[in-house]
Homo-oligomer: A and B are copies of this chain.
Amino acid sequence: MRRIRLIAEYDGTNYVGWQIQPNGESVQGVIERELCSLTHEDIRIHGSGRTDSGVHSMAQVLHFDTESRIPADKFPYALNVSLPHDIRIKYGDEPPAGFHSRFDVRKKHYRYTLYCAPHASAFCAKTALHVHQKLDFEKMCKAASFILGEHDFAAFKSEGTELSSTVRTMYESQWTRDGKFMYYDICGSGFMYNMVRILVGTMLEIGKGYLDEDAMENALKTCSRNAAGATAPCHGLMMTRVEYDGFDTQDYV
């Protein structure tokens, strides 16, 4: 039995999310089906984490165990022949013994993209949030800076989510601009369900002037979901990079 590690890129628009669910086609489900058909085995894959419906990834790490003799670096070629065009396998290898794509994650990176213009774009409607209102970039940058470091992110947890701890550490949290695009890049030890989207939603409301400049600081201090903003739409979010000890997706995609 060998363990195989793959990196998958996917446009999440047409899927119910990463994880297999009864209500529609999932990215995990599609990849598993192709792997089973390729190896004639009953294969279960394990991703580095879930992504919600409509959320994208350019660096989802997954692993599975197989008796197949297909070389690890040939899996991408074999799978890409039959996978739909919005799911691509970019890399394959045999990880060190005991590697686990979810338990061994050290850092995860996400990017949220805004398209700021009076009219939407014909090209990035599914990968960027169109914002036609004026945004106060400086205020959004200041709010982003409060996120850095170790905090209790309870205010940025979806209601109903049960977790032993809501404390996480953020290593990067910043907005940048390039023409009509604004990007929010965040890197952390881990993220709760919807956490990045609630952080972005809060900063969007600060940028539009709907929330006070100190709303981010307050939400982190009070741990109250009501102090934070609405959850930003799914389609602007992308998982961009996953880091492990000795393995960084950035080196392969």
A9–B119 alpha-carbon span in the complex (Å): 10
Q: Which of A18-26, A121-129, A167-175 contacts B (4 or more CB under 8 A)?
A: A121-129
Question: Taking the complex as formed, is A199 at the interface, i.e. its CB lies under 8 A from any CB of chain B?
Answer: no
Residue of A90, A122, A123, A127 most packed against chain B (CB within 10 A):
A122
Copies of this chain held together in the complex? 2
Please, what's the 1-or-0 string for A178-207, where 1 marks a CB less than 8 Å from any CB in chain B? 000000000000000000000000000000
How many positions in chain A have a CB within 8 Å of any CB in the partner chain?
23
Residue pair B127, A88 in contact (C-beta under 8 Å): no
Query: Which residues in B have their C-beta under 8 angstroms from that of A122?
Result: 9-11, 56, 58, 85-88
Residue pair B123, A11 in contact (C-beta under 8 Å): yes
Residue of A58, A76, A123 most packed against chain B (CB within 10 A):
A123
| Minimum C-beta distance from A18 to chain B (A) | 13
| Minimum C-beta distance from A253 to chain B (A) | 9
A contact residues vs B (CB 8 Å cutoff):
9-11, 56, 58, 76-77, 80, 85-90, 117-123, 125, 127
